Chains A and B, each alone.
Chain A
Amino acid sequence: MLQQLGQLPMGLLLIALIAVFGSAAFFLGRVRAERLLVATTSRMHSRPNYHGYYVAMWATVPVVIVAIAYAIFAEDLTRIQLTRELPSSFARLSPVELQSYLESVRMAAGTAASAGADRVFQAITNRYLELRGLINTATLVLLGLMAAVGIFLAQRRLKPDFRARALVENGMELVLFVCAGVAIATTAGIVLSLLYESLQFFQKVSAWDFLTGTRWNAQTEAEFGALPLFFGTFMIALIAMLVAAPIGLFSAIFLSEYASPRARAWIKPILEILAGIPTVVYGFFALLVVAPAIRSAALWFNETAIQLGLASEPILAAQPTSALAAGLVMGIMVIPFVSSLSDDVINAVPQTLRDAAYALGATKSETVKQVVVPAALPGIIAALLLAVSRAIGETMIVVMAAGKSARISMDPTSDLTTITVQIVSLMTGETGFDDPKTLSAFALGLVLFIVTLAFNVVALRVVKKYREKYD
């Protein structure tokens, strides 16, 4: 019996119960309020619906809290109790082995088909289900009680002059505030998880060695000098910006200063399609078209240089995946980030400035170069900074087209690796969370987070300052 209870689909059940309790409570509260309305001679403060909501609030809030507690603690509680009851032979197991054993127990309990397993395992699985059943029953009983008590207490408070609406609205406002607080919680979650795992990593590898070491061999020999990764990231972002900055800026200038409104209405959305294409598509494009083209161009260059007697051996590495391929494609991807924001700030430059320049006899291009762009410069710089931050954090293009060898090489046709590539390759393996390999991914993530955050903060500051100037 308990074992069957242990297999209840608690997630669905809890959600269903919350819905059932909530609507039942609402109905009860409303009916009671309607009766009050008929019975009373004075006016009710709040409409019956609000009384219903009030009772529903009392019925669901405690239930939700219990359900969340269940979701977090049920599994842990079961495991703690189960570990206590295990035969003494299990004492030899290391904590990690024990956890993976318990995990397999959980899996077996979930499928309920543990045929063929040994008797001890079977017995433990059954005991696990019993414990689980106990906790499930206790939770359900507790839930029912809390909902009943909640409804009862709330019902008793309903009176004609009861300020149900004010209380419900206060409750709603609290819910809204909590939703807004999720933003803080997310940031805190990111910072804490990155810091926690990174600190564990830095206990094994010194932070100084990590930041300044030039040898990266996380997969095998466990050398954690991340400088080649920083270099690769920087190099590819630089190539990307060399593509995106001129194209994006000139596009923005053309769109805002030269293009007819009709052309602008067409070209701007089309350019923004570039930002909407998933990055994995760019990665595939880089892999399929750009990287082979760059490789053959580099090979041709090597051959010609040798034929012309300019070099005795190949100058360029001409590898199948290259920093140049990844950088070029990434550049295409970030064009709209540069062009859209620059376009906005160029448009925000007051027409009076242009008119003044024309009045002095400046040509259109001189006006743009000497008046409009300098006036929009802070905004343009912010756009470029945001684009750089995008390029640094971009993952799929480099994972697919930039290669995996950590080296410091100025040759753009050699394959370089980046922070994001290494995070992906370190995290996709099947390793535990206490392995320095996995932990180093979090240290890299921390660096990435700090760098992109710095770019964003500076960019947002610049934009804010600039806006104050013309509004």
Chain B
Amino acid sequence: MTDKARKSAPSAASAKHLKRRRAADFRFRYYGLTAIFVALGALAVLVLTIGSQAVSAATYHVVRYEVTLDPAVIAPEGASSPQDISRNVEGFYSLVRDNLLTTFPEVGEDRMLRREISDFVTRLAVLPTARMVAEKPELVGANITLTAPLNDDLDLYLKGQGVRERKLPAGVLSRIETGAEGTYRLSGTDAFAGVMAGLAVANVDRPVDAGQPDVLLSAGVSTGRLTAIDAGSARMELLTGRAEDFAQGRPTARIIASPESERTISDRQIAWVLALKEMGRIDRVPRWTLLTNSDSTYPELAGGLAAIVGSLLTMLITAMVAMPIGILAAVYLEEFAPRNRVTEFIEVNINNLAAVPSIVFGLLGAALYINFLGMPRSAPLVGGLVLALMTFPVVIIASRAALKAVPPSVRSGALAVGASQMQTVFHHVVPLAAPGILTGAILGMARALGETAPLLLIGMVAFVGDVPRSPTDESTVMPVLIFSWANNAERSWEPLTSAMIIILLTFLLVMNGLVVFLRRKYERRW
């Protein structure tokens, strides 16, 4: 009776209560969903920002220079041995600079302009060519095409990242009058109306004045800077090329928002780089130097080879120390150790070690290996040993889990046919647990490969320009290189750092992929 009454007549209050409870239930589910989306979103933003930056560093611009390898310059009397040629950076550099000077005769003897044009190539960029010529001495005196990377700021400009600019077509120019000192008056019906509109968007009405945006006008290989503008005409200061070029077709106007004084590249450098591009002498090519060069103070020459080799050497030491010790310790604890206080103490130690902050291992390495044992600073040997101490608890924990998963029937079977404890473990249990042990070890190594902090403390942060050849050479590793590059102030290091991160993540991905593969292939459920 009472039940029926309750069912048929729910009070208004209880209906309201029920509605509220259902709404709360609905909301609660969406809190969870939101949390997942926030976490995944953060991951996506991280990967996308770094990935997109890295894509821009995957290619770079190189300039081709047709040069004659004049023996008087690159192999002068008394310095013509292959070794001298490979060291003659100054000689090769002067070939490149002279090539630029003949391409842009307006530079002349002006010291300011000479400096601006020498920024196009850094001296060290000719080193690969010098080495090549040293190997093939028959090239001396021949004409060759020398390629050298473009200055990093100009490279960024060509990629559309360094300087914010807006490109607009100008109208056909019907008259070009020559004014004083390289200035020209250009006119045509409504030729600059579009540019005026563009300037209005940028909230300025005049170019020219210091601190205002610059307007560059280019036609073919020629570029000039506008110094006065109205809808039908403009006054232009020619930066490079010939004024006649502007009479053909429709020139392109570039409104560059930031004034010249706030940029790392000048208007004239932009004009030159546009001219070289128009001449077809600039190519955008894959940046293999990221993998084949070592660290440099010039972004366009910097690469990660030394760090990659350093990481591999360090990992080699870590693997050689942490894997045997970790695996054997796990075998002992899982298969042999009597249940007593010593064993328990060891287990507590291992669990705690796995959670000790990595930087503490760095302090241990600095105090023990460097200060007490007098090992060399910055060496993969010390780095590897520090990381080994950090990794081996991880290896132990994973290996024990793998050993534990082997069913006791395997052990009983082996013991029953007369195998000793040692034979049972090493002939039967360990081989069955091997895939699990290996995956645990690889995961531990992957963690060590990404570790930075402890290596900073043992001095692996120093600039290393040479590829280390032995574990006691001065060296750096990938994560530390990323850290050093991220600390560089120049804008062009950002894409490079991202690219290096992608290289590191690729290594980690391969290692984790290997783990997934091993698990898929060998995992057995008993």
- The answer to whether A441 touches B363, judged by C-beta atoms less than 8 angstroms apart, is yes
* Nearest neighbor of B372 in chain A, beta-carbon distance: A193
Contact with A along B335-379 (1 / 0, CB 8 A): 011000000011001111101111111111011100111100000
By DSSP majority rule, is chain B's interface helix, strand, loop, or mixed?
helix
- The answer to whether A365 touches B29, judged by C-beta atoms less than 8 angstroms apart, is yes
Stretch at the interface among B34-42, B182-190, B246-254: B34-42
- The answer to whether A449 touches B360, judged by C-beta atoms less than 8 angstroms apart, is yes
How many angstroms between the C-alpha atoms of A281 and B420 in the bound complex?
50
B436 on the A face (CB < 8 A): no
- The answer to whether B28 touches A190, judged by C-beta atoms less than 8 angstroms apart, is no
Contacts of A281 on B, CB cut-off 8 Å? Answer: 46, 50, 450, 482, 501, 504-505
Contacts of B512 on A, CB cut-off 8 Å? Answer: 276
How many angstroms between the C-alpha atoms of A381 and B162 in the bound complex?
49
B294 on the A face (CB < 8 A): no
From A282, A288, A442, A453, B352 is in contact (CB under 8 Å) with A453
Contact with B along A388-418 (1 / 0, CB 8 A): 0100111110011000000000000000000
How many angstroms between the C-alpha atoms of A273 and B336 in the bound complex?
35
A404–chain B nearest beta-carbon distance, Å: 12
Contacts of B353 on A, CB cut-off 8 Å? Answer: 183, 186-187
- The answer to whether B332 touches A284, judged by C-beta atoms less than 8 angstroms apart, is no
Contacts of A399 on B, CB cut-off 8 Å? Answer: 453, 483
How many angstroms between the C-alpha atoms of A187 and B371 in the bound complex?
18
A267 on the B face (CB < 8 A): yes
- The answer to whether A72 touches B452, judged by C-beta atoms less than 8 angstroms apart, is no
Contacts of A251 on B, CB cut-off 8 Å? Answer: 32, 35-36, 39
Contacts of A273 on B, CB cut-off 8 Å? Answer: 43
B25 on the A face (CB < 8 A): yes
- The answer to whether B328 touches A176, judged by C-beta atoms less than 8 angstroms apart, is yes
Contacts of A289 on B, CB cut-off 8 Å? Answer: 45, 49
B12 on the A face (CB < 8 A): no
- The answer to whether B325 touches A187, judged by C-beta atoms less than 8 angstroms apart, is no
From B21, B28, B332, B372, A179 is in contact (CB under 8 Å) with B332
* Nearest neighbor of B328 in chain A, beta-carbon distance: A179
A180-201: which have CB < 8 Å to B?
180-184, 186-187, 189-190, 193-194, 196-197
* Nearest neighbor of A395 in chain B, beta-carbon distance: B453
How many angstroms between the C-alpha atoms of A273 and B512 in the bound complex?
10
Contacts of B333 on A, CB cut-off 8 Å? Answer: 180
Contacts of A280 on B, CB cut-off 8 Å? Answer: 450, 452, 479-480, 482-483, 486
Contact with B along A213-224 (1 / 0, CB 8 A): 000000000000
A135-182: which have CB < 8 Å to B?
165, 169, 172-173, 175-177, 179-182
Stretch at the interface among B120-128, B168-176, B295-303, B389-397: B389-397
Residue of A72, A246, A282, A427 with most partner-chain B CB within 10 A: A427
Residue of A254, A267, A281 with most partner-chain B CB within 10 A: A281
Contacts of A369 on B, CB cut-off 8 Å? Answer: 28
B353–chain A nearest beta-carbon distance, Å: 6
B85 on the A face (CB < 8 A): no
B478–chain A nearest beta-carbon distance, Å: 9
- The answer to whether A267 touches B329, judged by C-beta atoms less than 8 angstroms apart, is no
Known: A187-B352, A395-B453. A445 touches B360 (CB 8 A): yes
B36-73: which have CB < 8 Å to A?
36, 38-40, 42-43, 45-46, 49-50, 53
Contacts of A460 on B, CB cut-off 8 Å? Answer: 351
B338–chain A nearest beta-carbon distance, Å: 11
B182–chain A nearest beta-carbon distance, Å: 41
Contact with B along A279-319 (1 / 0, CB 8 A): 11111110111000000000000000000000000000000
B446 on the A face (CB < 8 A): yes
B441–chain A nearest beta-carbon distance, Å: 14
- The answer to whether A173 touches B349, judged by C-beta atoms less than 8 angstroms apart, is no
B33 on the A face (CB < 8 A): yes
By DSSP majority rule, is chain A's interface helix, strand, loop, or mixed?
helix
- The answer to whether A365 touches B28, judged by C-beta atoms less than 8 angstroms apart, is yes
From B360, B479, B487, A278 is in contact (CB under 8 Å) with B479
How many angstroms between the C-alpha atoms of A424 and B53 in the bound complex?
28
B451 on the A face (CB < 8 A): yes
* Nearest neighbor of A188 in chain B, beta-carbon distance: B349
Contacts of A278 on B, CB cut-off 8 Å? Answer: 449-452, 479, 504, 508
Known: A197-B367, A270-B40, A271-B40. A392 touches B357 (CB 8 A): yes
B239 on the A face (CB < 8 A): no
B24 on the A face (CB < 8 A): yes
* Nearest neighbor of A393 in chain B, beta-carbon distance: B357
How many angstroms between the C-alpha atoms of A441 and B49 in the bound complex?
35
B116–chain A nearest beta-carbon distance, Å: 30
- The answer to whether A180 touches B337, judged by C-beta atoms less than 8 angstroms apart, is yes
B456 on the A face (CB < 8 A): yes
Contacts of B337 on A, CB cut-off 8 Å? Answer: 177, 180
- The answer to whether A253 touches B363, judged by C-beta atoms less than 8 angstroms apart, is no
B494 on the A face (CB < 8 A): yes
Interface residues of B toward A: which range? 35 or more
Contacts of B420 on A, CB cut-off 8 Å? Answer: 165, 169
How many angstroms between the C-alpha atoms of A368 and B40 in the bound complex?
23
B13-30: which have CB < 8 Å to A?
21-22, 24-25, 27-29
Known: A277-B505, A278-B452, A365-B29. A183 touches B38 (CB 8 A): no
- The answer to whether A366 touches B21, judged by C-beta atoms less than 8 angstroms apart, is yes
Known: A250-B34, A420-B453, A424-B456. A176 touches B336 (CB 8 A): yes
- The answer to whether B332 touches A176, judged by C-beta atoms less than 8 angstroms apart, is yes
- The answer to whether A423 touches B359, judged by C-beta atoms less than 8 angstroms apart, is yes
- The answer to whether B29 touches A449, judged by C-beta atoms less than 8 angstroms apart, is no
A335 on the B face (CB < 8 A): yes
From A254, A386, A427, A433, B362 is in contact (CB under 8 Å) with A427
- The answer to whether B42 touches A189, judged by C-beta atoms less than 8 angstroms apart, is no
Contacts of A169 on B, CB cut-off 8 Å? Answer: 420-422
B258–chain A nearest beta-carbon distance, Å: 18
Contact with A along B500-515 (1 / 0, CB 8 A): 0100110010001000
From A254, A428, A452, B35 is in contact (CB under 8 Å) with A254
Known: A75-B374, A267-B40, A424-B453. A258 touches B360 (CB 8 A): no
Known: A176-B331, A176-B336, A183-B396. A428 touches B457 (CB 8 A): yes
How many angstroms between the C-alpha atoms of A428 and B43 in the bound complex?
31
How many angstroms between the C-alpha atoms of A252 and B200 in the bound complex?
54
Known: A72-B373, A193-B368, A281-B501. A184 touches B29 (CB 8 A): no
- The answer to whether B392 touches A182, judged by C-beta atoms less than 8 angstroms apart, is yes
A335–chain B nearest beta-carbon distance, Å: 5
Known: A251-B36, A424-B457, A442-B363. A180 touches B346 (CB 8 A): yes
- The answer to whether A363 touches B39, judged by C-beta atoms less than 8 angstroms apart, is no
- The answer to whether A453 touches B356, judged by C-beta atoms less than 8 angstroms apart, is yes
From B25, B31, B364, B508, A189 is in contact (CB under 8 Å) with B364
* Nearest neighbor of A420 in chain B, beta-carbon distance: B359
* Nearest neighbor of B471 in chain A, beta-carbon distance: A11
- The answer to whether A279 touches B364, judged by C-beta atoms less than 8 angstroms apart, is no
* Nearest neighbor of A250 in chain B, beta-carbon distance: B35
- The answer to whether A448 touches B357, judged by C-beta atoms less than 8 angstroms apart, is yes
* Nearest neighbor of B483 in chain A, beta-carbon distance: A280
A353 on the B face (CB < 8 A): no
Contacts of B487 on A, CB cut-off 8 Å? Answer: 400
A274 on the B face (CB < 8 A): yes
- The answer to whether A276 touches B446, judged by C-beta atoms less than 8 angstroms apart, is yes
A457 on the B face (CB < 8 A): yes
Known: A184-B349, A278-B508, A386-B355. A190 touches B328 (CB 8 A): no
A255 on the B face (CB < 8 A): yes
Q: What are 24 A-B interface contacts by the 8 Å CB criterion?
A: A177-B336, A177-B337, A181-B346, A183-B353, A184-B345, A187-B352, A190-B364, A196-B367, A197-B367, A251-B39, A254-B33, A276-B450, A278-B451, A278-B479, A278-B504, A279-B453, A280-B482, A364-B29, A369-B28, A386-B355, A393-B360, A396-B453, A427-B362, A452-B355
Q: Which 8 A-B pairs have the closest CB atoms?
A: A393-B357, A254-B32, A278-B450, A250-B35, A365-B28, A176-B332, A395-B453, A193-B367
Beyond contacts A189-B368, A281-B501, A423-B362: 15 other A-B pairs, Cβ-Cβ < 8 A, are: A177-B336, A180-B346, A182-B325, A183-B350, A184-B346, A193-B364, A193-B367, A193-B372, A196-B367, A247-B39, A277-B505, A288-B53, A396-B479, A442-B367, A457-B352
